[in-house]
Amino acid sequence: MNVLVINAGSSSLKYQLMDPETGAVSAKGLCERIGIDGRLTHKVGDRKVEMDIPMPTHSEAITAVLDILVDKENGVIASTDEIDAVGHRVLHGGMKFSDSCIIDDKCIKAIEDCIPLGPLHNPANLMGIRACQAVMPGKPQVAVFDTAFHMTMPPKAYRYAIPKTYYENDDIRRYGFHGTSHKYVTRRAIALTGRQDIKLINCHLGNGSSLSAVKDGKCQDTSMGLSPLAGVCMGTRSGDIDACVVQFIMNKYGMTADECLNMLNKKSGVLALSGVSSDFRDIEDAAAKGNADAALALEKFAYEVRKYVGAYAAALGGCDCLVFTAGVGENSASMRARICEGLEYMGVKLDPEKNNVRGKEALISADDSKVQVWVIPTNEELMIAQDTAELVGKM
């Protein structure tokens, strides 16, 4: 089976053609500068092709993707009939979606209704969906939501302690993000440990970072909130912050709420703390050369992740398994060691040699560690392809 996985942004569109059963990717690529001029980067194995193609809208971008997928020289399929279904990543499913969904008029209307909750991403995701409908009419399509995995949280985790009207009338609550990644590593952790009922803490640590507390495969709590700004500090996002900081800065510097939020989303986090970069590799290099601000950024990031791990162990009544995933979680042995330092009291003991691993599935805890610690590379595209295949199979 071939599933075309699409992640549409406002001016970009990422794609992968993959087999949901084996996870094999036959081709992948990226359309950029949609609405400006248009550029396609297409990869088949190690071969990479780049070309300028006019893309006034997402429809031309999808057409360019389909053309290259069936192209004699660079393609991997003979005709678009070989694409069985399309799976779309959609940011915000609000309270309307607790699972992935076959795309029909009702689903599109519900994604539209969630635009106030995901004002930047949902309109772009819809452009990708509509473009596929226009270019491949009748092809089964599925929407996979970044928020859906977290919809099993109980009210004590998702409600904010603010007047009820904002929840009842405006759907203001904790939703959480990276749900597709948390769902994927949860499934893998259950398979790897052979236990469905494990108390699991997932650390998705990348440019954006979030943690989730999972029991019996179901999310009980997560660190991001109504938006992806909440939780631990990240590449450029502040993470959790006292709302009065926003009021103070707006008043003193005459900033609007949008300007202040832009600062918290794009100019904060480890970028602001280190003054070096939002990329953990640059910060680790700078810290190794003696930069004290870079060292503080690393220390604070590890401290915040460690605090959430402690909080989630308390929330779950224990922890059987700790998982590291995403760019930093999969690749930075030193950050994993820093985070686990001080978690010995709850039974976390890393094996320094096993921890010396990058980008592959590995058990990195010591044999006598009470908590199993795993590195599990995330694969959001595979999760999207599998959800799509499952739903389309049910049609």
Total chain residues near ligand AMP (CB under 6 A): 12
Closest contact distance (angstroms) between CB of 95 and ligand AMP is 27
Which one of 59, 141, 186, 331 is in contact with ligand AMP (CB under 6 A)?
331
Q: Among residues 150 and 178, whose Cβ is nearest to ligand AMP?
A: 178
Q: Which residue among 279, 285, 351, 361 contacts ligand AMP (CB under 6 A)?
A: 279
Q: How far is the CB of 364 from ligand AMP (least distance, A)?
A: 15
CB 214 within 8 A of CB 315: no
Q: Tell me which amino acid residue 8 is.
A: A
User: Distance between CA 200 and CA 132 in Å, rounded?
Assistant: 37
Among 94, 231, 235, 269, binds ligand AMP (CB under 6 A): 235
Residue 349's Cβ-count burial label (10 Å; 0-12, 13-18, 19+) is middle
Question: Which residue, 11 or 207, is less far from ligand AMP as judged by CB?
Answer: 207
- Tell the smallest beta-carbon distance from residue 166 to ligand AMP (Å): 31
Nearer to ligand AMP, 109 or 281 (CB): 281
CB-based contacts of 3, cutoff 8 Å, min separation 6? 17, 18, 19, 20, 83, 84, 85, 86, 87, 384, 385, 388, 389
Residues numbered 186 to 225 that lie near ligand AMP (CB under 6 A) are: 206-207
Q: Which residues pair with 372 in a beta bridge?
A: 321
Q: Judged by CB under 6 A, which of 38, 128, 228, 327 binds ligand AMP?
A: 327
Of 274, 332, 355, 369, the one binding ligand AMP by CB under 6 A: 332
CA 81 – CA 85 distance, rounded (Å) = 10
CA distances to 132, 147, 223 from 3, in Å: 13, 21, 31
Cβ 126 to ligand AMP shortest distance, Å: 24
Say whether residue 231 binds ligand AMP (CB under 6 A). no
Q: Does 184 bind ligand AMP (CB under 6 A)?
A: no
**Looking at the chain, which runs of residues are DSSP E strands?**
3-8, 13-18, 25-32, 39-44, 47-52, 85-90, 101-102, 141-145, 199-205, 209-215, 218-222, 321-325, 362-363, 372-375
Are residues 151 and 101 in contact, defined by beta-carbon separation less than 8 angstroms?
no
CB atoms inside a 10 Å sphere around CB 118: 25
Does position 328 bind ligand AMP by CB under 6 A? yes
Binding of ligand AMP by 20 (CB under 6 A): no
The C-alpha atoms of residue 157 and residue 305 are separated, in whole angstroms, by 18
**Between 52 and 341, CB nearer to ligand AMP:** 341
> Do residues 30 and 156 make contact, with C-beta atoms less than 8 angstroms apart?
no
- Residue 280 or 308 with smaller CB distance to ligand AMP: 280
For the bound state, the minimum distance from the C-beta of residue 33 to ligand AMP, rounded and expressed in Å, comes to: 21
**Which listed range, 14-22, 102-110, 148-156, 278-286, lies at the site for ligand AMP (CB under 6 A)?**
278-286
Among 281, 341, 390, 393, binds ligand AMP (CB under 6 A): 281
380 phi and psi angles, rounded to 5 deg: -65, -35
Cite the active site residues. Answer: 146
Longest CA pairwise span in the chain (Å)? 62
Which residue in 351, 350, 355, 345 sits closest to 313, CA to CA?
345
CB of 52 to ligand AMP, least distance (A): 26
Binding region for ligand AMP (CB under 6 A) out of 15-23, 82-90, 324-332, 340-348: 324-332
Number of other CB atoms surrounding residue 46 within 10 Å: 5
Q: How far is the CB of 97 from ligand AMP (least distance, A)?
A: 23
Instruction: Based on the shown chain and the rule CB under 6 A, indicate whether residue 280 belongs to the binding site for ligand AMP.
Output: yes
- Residue ranges in contact with ligand AMP by CB under 6 A: 206-207, 235, 279-281, 284, 326-328, 331-332
